[in-house]
Structure 1
Amino acid sequence: MQYSSFEKGELFENFVVDKLFKASEYDLIHRTNSFNQNESRYAENTLKPDFKFRCKTTQQEFYVEAKFRSGFNSKEMIEAISYNQIERFKTFQKKEKIPIYIVIGYGGIPNNPESLSLIPLDDLSYLELYVSFLRRFKIDKGLVKSNLLNLPKKQHKEESKTSLEDDQIKEKVTGFNKGSLFNFKNKKVLLASGIGLLLMVFLFFNTFITSTEDTLKQKTTEYYNTIESGNINALENYIEPNVVKWYSKSNMSFADIKKDTKAYVKRHPATKVEIQWDTFNVNPLNNDYAVTYNMVYKLLKENRGKDIIYHLKIHAIWSEDLKIKSLYEERI
């Protein structure tokens, strides 16, 4: 059965309310107007996330935005959220100090999606998502347990004061015990602890590198998407204020890069980037990341109706803030 985009949205929203955040565990405080309701009179609260719930266990409130996607796009990514919406939600979350979660259903049908991911807004920095990222936040098709949301239980003032006093007493006792017991530790215990620590560092480092590579793939994709869309102002989200090397130029300011890019897009309004992800390589460089990858770059219908195609190797340095501080290419 074929559904319109609005029908898909409403079916998935009903699934979220009825299956994931059931009335037995969550109070529904707010729900934005439907498309039909807004047609007759637009409500300002439509700019908020779809739902506001209160957990009956913790009494904590939170927002949920529901997104259903039938499948992946040509880049094998899910188009999760718009730039304007994610920026609006971040401002809204900061102002209200209430956490926002994005629940994404993909594959299958809206009222019974094949897969689900529940992503805290603070972890969502990308507009399009790889399946590897979605899997990090995968949830089952059933009631979402409150502990999965990491919502602390609200306390009354007396409880909070008592809890604070207990914590201070525990801290003093623990500190005393640590000092007393340290003298009894033997070399074998210290050696075992050292080995355990090294293993933890090794595992953390490998996990960190994998996660960083996925993150840089996301940022690289978004960078090129921003240029292709002509949204040059948004490039400040991906480029440092001052760049050491920018293609054939050195020591460029973002203002100069923005000006050059605008002129380039005017000359070449239709381009296409095909990154060969199997060549994507990340190496730590002090506090930065050196990134290289091959790609096919096309200027669409530039030469009497024929595309001009370049095979390039890209060399980039991304800062610890995940912004480009150096970028140049070589033909291969």
Structure 2
Amino acid sequence: MQPESFKKGDLFEKFVENELFKASDYVLVSRTNSYDQNKNRYAEDTLRPDFKFRCKKTGQEFYVEAKYRSRFNAENKLEVISYTQIERFKGIQKEESIPIFIAIGYGGSPENPDSVSLIPLEKLSYLELYPSFLKRFNVEKGAIDHHALNLPITQRAAAYKRSPQSQGQQPVPSEIKAKLPFFKNKKIMVAIGMGFVLVAFLLFKTFNTSIEDTLKQKTAEYYTTIHSGNIDGLEDFISPRVDKWYSRSDVTFSEIKEDTKRYIKRHPLTSTNIQWDTFKVTPLNDSYSVSYNMVYKLLRENKGKDIIYHLKIHVVWDKDLMITSMYEERI
């Protein structure tokens, strides 16, 4: 018998497919197996998001993962996604250069939820969501307009947009195509192509190295500022308003400043040892997602043994290199 949670999941997936991404506007490229299908033989593709769609107007492909939750937990949060799943999706999005959205239905019933949020993966920097955060991404319960998705124009989508099929034009006859000018010397064409690839690679490499080094430096300076007790100096690192600050959401810098003062008063002696070989930067649309492992110690001096924590830190830095989200997990 299919578990109740999977039944609700299947019902909400049908809602997403039939109500939000209708066949008239979007091509269904792929869909992961259902619980009953996987029970007979598990498909590896099930590890991918539930749907892959292609917009008929732009040719842009994107993934959608469907999540339904009937109620908020005791802390007024919606438990949406696991750390393992969000990291796997980030890898898929980076590898395939295809946007991923998390469609969250909550309240009501899975086939007709009270509210629906459609959140780009890069905006989902934490695992449990408050109502205020969900409302920022609420959508109407009906067909999603492709403009609302704000999809990046990829090379493939741009070519599709210019194609005769997308513009309702007749394709150019082959005899006319043959008369169009082209390079006759194939060696020159190959050399030019290799040159463009080399330049693009060098630019990409230089940019990535530069931003990673910059973020490493900012991270080191951030912890130096904390250890020095210069709380006012944190203004150079933390955004005036932060989406997530450890267990809290939608926090102001002033609140963070006061929390930090209280924490330092309770724990005046601490040390951080960042494992720089784990430092990972993932560029987002207008920010950078950073993660790294760290050994964090509460130093006790003569009062007993130090308390040691092995942590994985997750930070989002905006385009101005200010922290907009930060949380940790123990490893």
* Aligned pairs for 1:173-322 within 5 A: 209=240, 212-216=241-245, 219-221=246-248, 247-253=267-273, 254-257=294-297, 260-261=307-308, 320=323, 322=325
Q: Which runs of 5+ in 1 are unaligned?
A: 161-207, 223-242, 264-286, 289-318, 326-332
Q: Which runs of 5+ in 2 are unaligned?
A: 164-238, 250-262, 274-293, 299-305, 311-319
CA offsets 1:215-274 (integer angstroms, 9 cap, x no match): 22xx3349xxxxxxxxxxxxxxxxxxxx999824233434243983559xxxxxxxxxxx
Match of 1:226 in 2: none
Alignment pair present for 1:65 and 2:92: no
Contact kept? 2:68, 2:110, Cα under 8 Å:
yes
What amino acid is aligned across from residue 114 of structure 2 in structure 1? E
TM-score (norm 1): 0.54
Contact kept? 2:27, 2:56, Cα under 8 Å:
yes
CA distance in 2, matches of 1:119, 1:220: 20
What amino acid is aligned across from residue 61 of structure 1 in structure 2? E
Identity, % of aligned positions: 51
Give the superposed CA RMSD: 3.2
Flag the 1:30–1:159 CA change in 2: closer, same or farther, 3 A.
closer
Flag the 1:33–1:247 CA change in 2: closer, same or farther, 3 A.
same
Give the count of matched residue pairs. Answer: 199
What amino acid is aligned across from residue 72 of structure 2 in structure 1? F
Flag the 1:159–1:146 CA change in 2: closer, same or farther, 3 A.
closer
Contact kept? 1:32, 1:48, Cα under 8 Å:
yes
TM-score (norm 2): 0.54
CA distance in 1, matches of 2:56, 2:9: 26
Partner secondary structure for residue 37 of structure 1: helix
CA distance in 2, matches of 1:261, 1:140: 47
* Aligned pairs for 1:81-100 within 5 A: 81-100=81-100
Match of 1:80 in 2: 80
CA distance in 2, matches of 1:324, 1:136: 20
CA offsets 1:11-63 (integer angstroms, 9 cap, x no match): 00000001000000000011000111111111000000000000000010000
Partner secondary structure for residue 133 of structure 2: helix
Match of 2:167 in 1: none
What amino acid is aligned across from residue 76 of structure 2 in structure 1? E
CA distance in 2, matches of 1:115, 1:139: 8
CA distance in 2, matches of 1:53, 1:62: 6
